[in-house]
Structure 1
Amino acid sequence: MKKNIAIIMGGHSSEYNISIKSGNVVHKFLDTQKYNTYRIIISREKWIYLDASNQEFPVDKADFSIQPNGAKIHFDCVFNAIHGTPGEDGLLQAYFELLGIPHTSCNHYESALTFNKRDLLSTLKPYGVPCATSYYLNKGQAVDEAAIVEKVGLPCFVKANRSGSSYGISKVYQKEELAGAIEMAFKEDSQVIIESFLDGTEVSVGVITHNGEVTVLPITEIVSENDFFDFEAKYMGKSQEITPARISTAQEANVRKLAEFIYRTLGLKGFTRSEFIFIGDVPHLLEVNTTPGLTEESLLPQQAGVAGISLKTLFDSAIEEALR
């Protein structure tokens, strides 16, 4: 009997439209011989099932079911394609765990931890994971620009702490630019992390559980045409994404080992994509994404393709692992 699969997409963040694209790609490539697939759009205003003719049917939040034709449909598994809140920060994961519905992403605590850049880096530093020097700031706190520059130096990066797709990120060269960059970051989140500039090769490393095994995918080198890997570089063709990366054997071994160590140490599941910058042969962690982009142009699907894993196989594997 076919399994009923809910593909959740949308969300409450600036990444809403990117998530819709990811969810539609999952819907396109999931094996219809094995699964009945249902597109579920989640927004602040409503939760709806969108059928093939784009007719909307409400989702019953009491048990996460739908009733499009009179008969109630329950789901065997949820494929999570929501980037940002509430699909990447643990909120929906906790909801599905309470309902006992398997889902393809990390559990709620691990999702919340990795989505919070400050907490993630603070958790991994005692394990010896290298990262940039950082300064934390919350909305409403006084901004001491001299203290910031003294700790992290210039240039530096000002980032919204709980945001993705490079929303709320600025590269700052002068102390006078800090106030504007911080104000922009606060539009995305009430917490900000300011990090020292790491001057080196940037790479992205996908780590997944595939056929029951933790698998490190081929590494992607990021070469941005802009000043850094910002929204334009990620989504508007202003970068080169080179897989496999043009890095040394030592660099490759080091970053593969570290990416797998982080995945295992944090108890992650499903698809993840971690970003690093090399200083010499040493990879420094920037962030970990637990619901990475899944469009045909996104980094993790590119990496899977180089590894010989088709999108159909990749998405099927995620559901099989969730149901395992």
Structure 2
Amino acid sequence: MKTKVALITGGYTGEAEVSFKSAAFVQEKLDKEKYDIYPITITLDRWFHVTETGIKIPINREDFSLDIQGDIVTFDVAFIILHGAPGEDGRLQGYLDMIGLPYTSCDALTSALTMNKGYTKAVISDIVNLYVAKSVLLFETNRREAVAMVQQNLTLPYFVKPNAGGSSIGMSKVKESSALQSALDSAFDAANTGCQVLVEEFVTGREFSQGIFRNAKGELVVLPATEVRTTREFFDFEAKYVAGLTEEITPADLTAEQKERASQIIQDIYVRLNCKGMVRVDFFFEKDTDKFYFIEINTIPGQTPQSFIPQQVRALGMKEGDFYAELIEAAISPAPKPQR
């Protein structure tokens, strides 16, 4: 009997477009002989499934079921490919926990925590060999004093970004004090980003992104790293989604020692934050010091053909469909004792 998979996509933010592309890729790669896949779109207005004939069937939110011409469809597992709210901030996971439907991502608490960059840094800051940039966390209530607070505590250049949100929306690099206010306003006013702003001292170095997941056996598997080289000031929204602005090298050219150190730190981050499923950690190796600097963690990473995780899965010698199947089986199978 096939496993019924609710492939949840869409969302409340501008990242919905990427979510649809990611979900389409996952659906294409999953084994149709093993899984019955039902794409489910979540928007602010409605939750629905579109049948092969183009009919929109609303989700019954009491139990997340579908009534397709009198046939009630319930699901064995939810595969969450919804970037931004409500799929990446824990709200969807909390709902699924309440109705008892297993899912492929981190739980509600971890998802909510990791959506907040400043809080995440506080939790992981004492991990061995991990460094975090000196920073100031700003709230709407102290917005008027923001410029002074940053200048008193940090040294130029600054990296200004919304404390929540994704796809580098509202982020900017500030080289001169005169540009700080504009950067703060852009970050504070970015949609769906929590009205909190994180300002960090800029770290100069090589930038990497690296995935990790727990397989159906309970083992942690660290994927090969991707190095990101961009012609932009940093890896911003345009660099991520406009062709030709970024070079991505997978697997990255790292020494054996750097690979081992990164792998251990990423595993420690995964365990410390109680992650589940697949996540992606972004980091710098600082120029001259070679220190590992944490940038952020993404608990619902992109899954388009060009996204980092699919690149890294292929570099590992694994098929994307087998990778997604591992996530599904890990979500629905009785959890074995976790292994490091």
Provide TM-score, normalisation by structure 1: 0.97
Q: Determine the C-alpha separation between the residues in 2 that align with 1:202 and 1:285.
A: 10
CA displacement at 1:126 relative to structure 2: 3.3
Secondary structure at the counterpart of residue 121 of structure 1:
helix
User: What residue in structure 2 maps to residue 59 of structure 1?
Assistant: 59
Q: Alignment partner for residue 159 of structure 2, among 147, 150, 157?
A: 157
Alpha carbons 1:39, 1:51 under 8 Å: kept: no
Q: Give the paired residue count.
A: 324
1:32-181 matches, cutoff 5 A: 32-128=32-128, 129-141=130-142, 142-181=144-183
- Does structure 2 conserve the Cα–Cα contact (< 8 Å) formed by 1:14 and 1:167? no
**1:234 corresponds to 2:240:** yes
* Equivalent residue in structure 2 for 1:192, among 197, 212, 220: 197
Which SS does the other structure have where 1:98 is aligned?
A: helix
Letter in 2 for 1:30: L
Q: Distance in 2 between matches of 1:60 and 1:288?
A: 32
For the pair 1:295 / 2:297, whether they are aligned, the reply is: no
Instruction: Report the CA distance between 1:275 and its aligned residue.
Output: 0.4
Gaps of 5+ in 1: none
Please say which of residues 60-69 and 291-300 is displaced more in the overlay: 60-69
CA distance in 1, matches of 2:99, 2:146: 46
Any idea what the Cα deviations from partners look like across 1:30-50, whole Å, max 9, x if unmatched? Answer: 111011110100011111112
Percent identity, aligned pairs only, is 37
Residue aligning to 1:268: 275
- Give 1:256's aligned amino acid: S
Residues 137-171 of structure 1 show CA distances to partners (whole Å, capped at 9, x for unaligned) of 11242234233123221111111111111111111
User: Take 2:261 and 2:127, find their aligned partners in 1: how far apart are those partners?
Assistant: 15
2:205 is paired with a residue whose SS is coil
Partner of 1:206: helix, strand, or coil? strand
Q: Which residue, 312, 318, 324 being the options, matches 2:321?
A: 312
In 2: Cα distance, 1:248 partner to 1:197 partner: 24
Task: Map Cα deviations across residues 246-267 of structure 1 (whole Å, 9 max, x no partner).
Answer: 2233222211110111112222
Unaligned 5+ runs, structure 2: 334-340
- 2:337 maps to none
1:70 CA displacement: 1.5
Provide the secondary structure at the position in 2 that maps to 1:130: strand
SS at match of 1:67: strand
The one-letter amino acid of 2:208's match is V
What's the CA shift for 1:316? 0.8
Write the letter of the residue equivalent to 1:206.
G
CA shift digits 1:271-296 (9 cap, x unpaired) = 10000011222211110101100111
Cα distance in 1, alignment partners of residues 304 and 230 from structure 2: 19
TM-score w.r.t. the length of structure 2 is: 0.92
Deviations 1:163-209 (A, max 9, x none): 11111111111112111111111223211111110000111110011
